[in-house]
Structure 1
Amino acid sequence: MATAKLAQWAVNLQFSQLPSSVTQAANRSFYNWAGCAIGGSTHPATLKASTALRPFFGQPTSSLLGRSASSQDGKADAQHAALINGIASHVHDYDDTHLETIIHPTGPVASALLAQAEALETPTSGKDFLLALVAGIEAECKLGLTVWPKHYDLGWHITSTVGSIGAAVAVGKLLKLDEEKMGHAISIAATQVTGLREQFGSDTKSFHIGRSAQNGLLAAALARNGYTGSLHALEAKRGWVNVVGAGSNRLEEMVGSLGTIWEVEKNSFKPFPCGIVVHPSIDGCIQLHDEMRERGLVANEDTIESVKARVHPLVLELTGKKTPIDGLQAKFSVYHGAAVGLVMGKAGPAQYEDPLVISQEIVGVRERFEATADGNLMADEADILLTMKDGTVLRKHVEHAIGSLEAPMTDEQLQTKFKDQSMPVLGRNGTAAASKAFRSMEGAESVAKIAPSI
């Protein structure tokens, strides 16, 4: 049965079984996650959550990234640290993406895992940490593939609905649960289904990731202490797959591929902090911005006649907000992403700040942008036709957007992204220390010493 097979695989997985390409992907995924969590630590949604929940914090064992470990606000109990860091890591929509399922895998898993590792009395080595991280990411992505796309089409936020299970597997691995207790952890996590797509564009979207991390950590802790659940929670008639997956029948196939096809190797990293389906349009518009500059042209509402884009159908389904009113909504607007790309030649966190989203400079260009769904295009592809009022016509076809598996971000680009997010929060020296610490996880003697040392 699938629940037992997943538990058995996770428990028996050894670091020596991981190909070097898998450990490299895991290192990159965690490094990217840490930068996102630090960058999102000062976002209003993160601060609102931590302020509201601080009266309920328990023993301060685990770091809240982006805050001084020596300050009163720098730590929380493991449960709340997983929640708050999970929120912070996703709030800018800048985290990693498993493109086959559009799951953001590392958020739920790493948020729970780091919180638990810091709370343990015995030190966790970098290798043990990465091993658990891989186990959790593989579990959630395999389950995502099992129910994709029906699950997502029904309205579930797939990152958080599988994230609880991935986090439980990872933390269970760290806690050295046996096969039976790992099965119970998976079961307890599976019953905590979190996340509705209706929440996209609000504070609650990032809450999904934090809550799934917290749920997974809770599931592993309960199972460790003998708490039970159905050991057929994934595959049973009224189990997770059949309830949330609209009767998908790929569970045995996906669980059977564990350890032979590594999903973490398919992880991609975002160059822009918004829905990943927007990235081809942004990429193309930035290229058009650069071409216009070379020709001595500028992009604004007075110079642009129209911008017409052909995009994958998911773009309009997921990011069709024509008139976003703030930065969170703009992350789901292909119109805003294209506009800032054309006008400013960039689309970083600053381009998704509330004042810019509603500025006439951007709104005027946004209103001239038209997107049409084309089912013949790939998800990382876009075709953009720009017509200027002076008669100039420019076209850009993006075959594979930057950040896709075919055009991946380099280690240098990931480092720049990390620094851009961390610098406003930690300053230059703190950012340098954090980048060095989180980039070399595999050689760490004790994971618990990393965050407090920054």
Structure 2
Amino acid sequence: MATKKLAKWTTSLDSSLLPNSVQTAARRSLYNYIGCTIAGSNHTAAQKAHRGLEPFFGPATSSLLGYKGTSRTDAQHAALLNGIASHVHDYDDTHLATIIHATGPVASAVLAYAEYKGSVSGQDVLLALTAGIEASCKLGLAVWPAHYDIGWHITSSTGSVGAAVGVGRLLHLTETQMAHAIGLAAVQVVGLREMFGSDTKSFHPGRAAQSGLLAAIMASNGYTSSPRALEAKRGWANVVAGGGTPKLDQFISELGQKWEIEDNAFKPFPCGIVCHPVIDACIQLHAELGGEGRRIEDIIKVETRVHPLVIELTSKRTPKDGLEGKFSVFHGGAVGLLYGKAGPAQYADEVVTDAAVIAVRDKIDATSDAKLAANETYVTIHFTDGAKIEKHIVHAVGSLELPMTDAQLTEKFVDQSALVLGKESAQKASEIAWKIGEASNVADVLRRL
């Protein structure tokens, strides 16, 4: 029984059972999440949610990372709003086997509850985060790819269970209570791919965090659900599998043997991850253009060959704003060629609609090639004099084969957080965030962020 097995594993998990590599991955995942959430706090989508919900805020027990003004609220709203902020720039982590952005829903719920509860150590938070991420990703693998193909946003449709597991760890739920929490979270399925490019995409992980928090708290007070919530004929897996055959038993059996958090990658660019090979290539080509004395104006066309998912997910030819730009491989390539970088500033609304960017974007074409790996591309620039230069990316930066280093993660954290906090405060926040796992009480740390 998958539900029972997942509940048993998550309630019996102990820090001593986590390999050093897993603990390191958890620390990096939480650090990256904090930076993304601070940076996302001043995005228009996050601000609209904050303004709309502020009249309904409860007791100020939990911090809203990066917010000024009303920066503390009740745990449920903190989970929701931090979850939105964590994902709104599309700059968060990615479990590459399933495209799940696993940390956002789990960390948003875990941190909100940890601060509410008080006296929760950083080590306890990292353990809860690990348990939740493993639960989310194992469920995602069990229904991948049919679940995603039919239209579910897999980050949030698995994230509510991951969040429930994470908070359930901090609540010290019994095995039976954890099974009920999993069931309560499983019925709160949220997230449609149709919403990509709109404010609602970032609502997905926020709502999943809030739902998982609610599920764990209700279960701790005796609320029940089906003991076969995941595997029953009309349970979660069979209902959301999209006509595919769920593989729950296979992946639940791997818990504690194959750690999915170790396959959690971090984005160097704030957009759909399938765009990253093209952006990586264009940034490298930008440097080569300068070295050869060629100008952007001399480019006739830019041809790219990409994995089919790039066309399926990021083929917005004329994005109208920054959110749509995140799903435009043409915009990503254009800013890479023009500026030699593609950070949050290059996905601002005014950059997406800038005439110079549009001029380059219109010269870029993308052709699907099923023979290419998901993180591979060929980009060829053609010039007015008949010359051409080509870049072949075998593994994009940020992939498992070419992961971001701690130094690169720090640069990313400071770069994006400085847009909200200023450079000096962003550097201080980075130092604090790297050490959150060592804290005796994470509430003290969160209030400083």
TM-score, normalised by the number of residues in structure 1:
0.98
Equivalent of residue 202 in structure 1, options 191, 198, 204: 198
Q: Tell me by how many angstroms 1:247 deviates.
A: 4.1
State the match for 2:433 in structure 1.
Answer: 438
After superposition, residues 311-390 of structure 1 pair within 5 angstroms as 311-390=306-385
What amino acid maps onto 1:413 in structure 2? Answer: Q
- 2 CA distance for matches of 1:11 and 1:324? 46
Which residue in 1 is equivalent to 2:101? 104
- AA partner of residue 279 (structure 1): H
Q: Is the 8 A contact 2:321 2:353 kept in 1?
A: yes
Contact 1:298 1:343 in 2 (8 A): no
Residue 14 (1) aligns with residue 9 (2): no
- What is the CA–CA distance in structure 1 between the aligned matches of 2:304 and 2:353, rounded to whole Å? 22
**Aligned partners of 2:34 and 2:71: how far apart in 1?**
15
* Residue matched to 1:219: 215
Amino acid of the residue matched to residue 393 of structure 2?
Answer: V
- Assess if the C-alpha contact under 8 Å between 2:147 and 2:244 holds in 1: no
Supply the distance in 2 between the matched residues of 1:247 and 1:410 (Cα, whole angstroms): 37
TM-aligned CA deviation for residue 390 of structure 1: 2.1
Matched to 1:27, the amino acid is R
1:135 and 2:131 equivalent? yes
Match runs of 1:274-293 below 5 Å: 274-293=271-290
Matched with 2:122 is 126
- Using the alignment, how far apart are the partners of 2:322 and 2:244 within structure 1? 37
Deviations 1:51-83 (A, max 9, x none): 000111111100000025xx5x01010000000
Deviation at 1:441, TM superposition (A): 2.5
Structure 2: distance between partners of 1:378 and 1:277: 10
* Residue equivalent to 1:232: 228
Partners of 1:106 and 1:64 in 2: how far apart?
A: 16
In 1, distance between residues paired with 2:240 and 2:67? 37
Do 1:268 and 1:408's aligned partners in 2 also have CA atoms closer than 8 Å? yes
CA deviations 1:173-203 (Å, max 9, x no partner) are 1110000000000000000000000000000
Q: Distance in 1 between matches of 2:335 and 2:426?
A: 27
Within the candidate set 186, 189, 198, 2:185 is matched to 189
Whichever residue aligns with residue 350 of structure 1, its letter is A
Q: Which residue of structure 1 lines up, in the alignment, with residue 257 of structure 2?
A: 260
Distance of 1:53 and 1:169 partners within structure 2: 26
2:151 aligns with one of 124, 137, 155: 155
Cα distance between partner residues in 1 of 2:127 and 2:11:
11
- Secondary structure (helix, strand or coil) at the match of 2:422 reads helix
Deviation at 1:344? 1.1
Partner Cα separation in structure 2 for residue 350 and residue 316 of structure 1? 24
Amino acid paired to 1:142: K
Cα contact 1:282–1:338 (8 A) shared by 2: yes
Match of 2:400 in 1: 405
Q: CA shift at 1:298, angstroms?
A: 2.0
Distance 1:432 1:452 in 2: 16
User: Which amino acid letter does the alignment assign opposite residue 81 of structure 2?
Assistant: I
Secondary structure of residue in 2 paired with 1:450: helix
Q: In the aligned structure 1, how far is the partner of 2:88 from the partner of 2:246?
A: 33
1:235-262 CA-to-partner distances (Å, cap 9, x unmatched) read: 0000000000134231001000000000
Deviation of the 1:429 alpha carbon: 3.7
Measure the CA separation in 1 of the matches of 2:173 and 2:338. Answer: 53
Q: How much has 1:430 moved relative to structure 2?
A: 2.4
Alignment-derived partner of residue 55 in structure 2: 55
Aligned residues of 1:313 and 1:375 also touching (Cα < 8 A) = yes
Q: Secondary structure at the match of 1:129?
A: helix
The residue type paired with residue 79 of structure 1 is Q
> 1:362 and 1:436 mapped to 2: Cα distance?
35
For residue 352 of structure 1, report the CA deviation from its aligned partner: 0.5
Superposed CA deviations along residues 257-311 of structure 1, whole A, max 9, x for unmatched, are 0000000000000000000000000000111111010011121xx3211111100
- The aligned amino acid for 1:55 is P
> Which is worse superposed, 260-269 or 438-447?
438-447
User: Could you say what secondary structure the match of 1:65 adopts?
Assistant: coil
**In structure 2, which of residues 250, 267, 272 is the aligned counterpart of residue 270 of structure 1?**
267
Identity of matched residues, %: 59
Residue 301 of structure 2 aligns to a residue in which SS? strand
Letter in 1 for 2:77: H
More off after superposition, 435-444 vs 391-400: 435-444
Checking the alignment, whether the CA contact within 8 Å between 2:36 and 2:89 is kept in structure 1 is yes
In structure 2, the gaps of 5 or more residues are none
Cα separation, 2, equivalents of 1:285 and 1:364: 15
What is the distance in 2 between the residues matched to 1:453 and 1:303? 50
Quote the Cα distance in structure 2 between the aligned partners of 1:192 and 1:230.
14
- 2:272 maps to a residue whose letter is G
Post-superposition offset of 1:453: 2.3
Aligned residues: 448
Hey, what's the Cα distance between the residues in 2 that align with 1:139 and 1:248?
Answer: 19
Q: What amino acid does structure 1 have at the position aligned with 2:48?
A: K
- Looking at structure 2, the residues matched to 244 and 4 of structure 1 have their Cα atoms a distance apart, in angstroms, of 19
Other-structure match for 2:44: 44
Question: What are the superposed Cα offsets for residues 294-347 of structure 1, whole Å, 9 maximum, x if unpaired?
Answer: 011121xx3211111100000000001011010000000001001111111111
Residue equivalent to 2:64: 64
TM-score (norm 2): 0.99
C-alpha distance in structure 1 between counterparts of 2:104 and 2:85, whole Å: 9
Q: How far, CA to CA, are the matches of 1:435 and 1:445 in structure 2?
A: 18
Q: How do 1:243-258 residues align onto structure 2 when only pairs under 5 Å count?
A: 243-245=239-241, 246-258=243-255
